[in-house]
C-alpha cells in the first residue's frame, strides 16, 4: 500500500510539473494576442485555463497522497508553512511555497472579473516565481529528481519557458506591434 501511494505521489508530481509548464507556455502565448494554427485565441485562453486547473488537481492529489504516505511524514502544517518538514526541509519547503503561490494565483484568476484587472495581473505575475520554484522542488525533493530522464524533461521545459520569456520581452511580441504607433498606458 505504501509503495503504491509513493508511486502515485511521485507520478502526480511529475504530471503537475508538465501541466504547469504547458500552462505557462500557453499563458505567454495568449498574452501576445496571437492564435495557434488550428487553435483560435479564445481557445488558447480556455486551454490555458483548463490545463491550469488540471495541474491544480494533480497538485492536490500529489500533496494528499503524500500526506498519507509514511516515508514523507508530512504534517498538516507542511501544506501551508514552508521549511518545517522532517525530510529534506528546504526542498520540501519549496514545494509548500509553490502551493501557496498556486492558491493565490488560482483564486485571483477564478475571481478575475470581480477583482478587476490590476489585482489579477499583479498576482498573476507571481507565476514567473511559481514555476522555477516548483521545478527546483521537483529536482531537489523528488525521488526521480536527478535521474537522467527527468533532468532531460526539466532541461527541455526550462528551455521552452526561457524561449517564451525571451519572446515575451522582445519588441515584436504583441501582434500588430509593428503597425501601432503608440502603446496603451
Q: Does position 31 bind another protein by CB under 8 A? A: yes
Indicate if the alpha-carbon torsion angle 60, 63, 130, 15 is positive or negative. negative
Q: Which stretch in 12-20, 113-121, 144-152, 162-170 sits in contact with another protein by CB under 8 A? A: 113-121
Residues 96 and 133: their CA atoms lie apart, in Å, by: 10
Q: Which stretch in 14-22, 26-34, 55-63, 146-154 sits in contact with another protein by CB under 8 A? A: 26-34
Residues 22 and 48: their CA atoms lie apart, in Å, by: 8
What minimum distance in Å lies between the beta carbon of 177 and another protein?
Answer: 9
Say if residues 17 and 51 touch (Cβ distance below 8 Å). Answer: no
Residues 29 and 168: their CA atoms lie apart, in Å, by: 8
What minimum distance in Å lies between the beta carbon of 155 and another protein?
Answer: 31
Residues 53 and 84: their CA atoms lie apart, in Å, by: 28
Site string for another protein, 52-91 (x = CB under 8 A): ----------------------------------------
What minimum distance in Å lies between the beta carbon of 30 and another protein?
Answer: 7
Q: Does position 148 bind another protein by CB under 8 A? A: no
Query: Closer to another protein at the Cβ: 166 or 180?
Result: 180
Which residue from 55, 30, 53, 56 is spatially nearest to 43, judged by alpha carbons? Answer: 30
Q: Does position 46 bind another protein by CB under 8 A? A: yes
Amino acid at each position: 500500500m505504501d509503495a503504491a501511494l509513493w508511486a502515485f505521489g511521485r507520478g502526480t508530481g511529475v504530471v503537475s510539473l508538465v501541466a504547469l509548464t504547458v500552462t505557462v507556455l500557453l499563458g505567454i502565448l495568449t498574452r501576445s494576442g496571437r492564435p495557434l494554427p488550428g487553435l483560435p485565441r479564445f481557445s488558447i485562453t480556455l486551454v490555458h485555463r483548463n490545463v491550469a486547473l488540471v495541474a491544480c488537481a494533480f497538485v492536490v492529489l500529489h500533496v494528499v497522497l503524500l500526506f498519507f504516505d509514511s516515508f514523507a511524514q508530512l504534517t498538516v502544517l507542511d501544506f501551508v508553512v514552508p521549511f518545517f518538514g522532517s525530510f529534506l526541509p528546504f526542498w520540501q519547503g519549496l514545494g509548500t511555497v509553490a502551493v501557496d503561490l498556486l492558491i493565490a494565483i488560482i483564486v485571483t484568476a477564478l475571481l478575475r472579473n470581480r477583482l478587476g484587472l490590476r489585482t489579477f495581473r499583479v498576482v498573476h505575475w507571481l507565476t514567473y516565481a511559481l514555476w522555477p520554484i516548483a521545478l527546483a522542488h521537483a529536482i531537489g525533493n523528488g525521488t526521480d529528481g536527478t535521474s537522467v530522464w527527468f533532468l532531460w524533461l526539466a532541461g527541455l521545459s526550462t528551455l521552452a519557458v526561457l524561449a517564451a520569456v525571451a519572446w515575451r520581452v522582445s519588441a515584436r511580441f504583441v501582434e500588430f506591434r509593428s503597425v501601432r504607433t503608440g502603446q496603451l498606458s
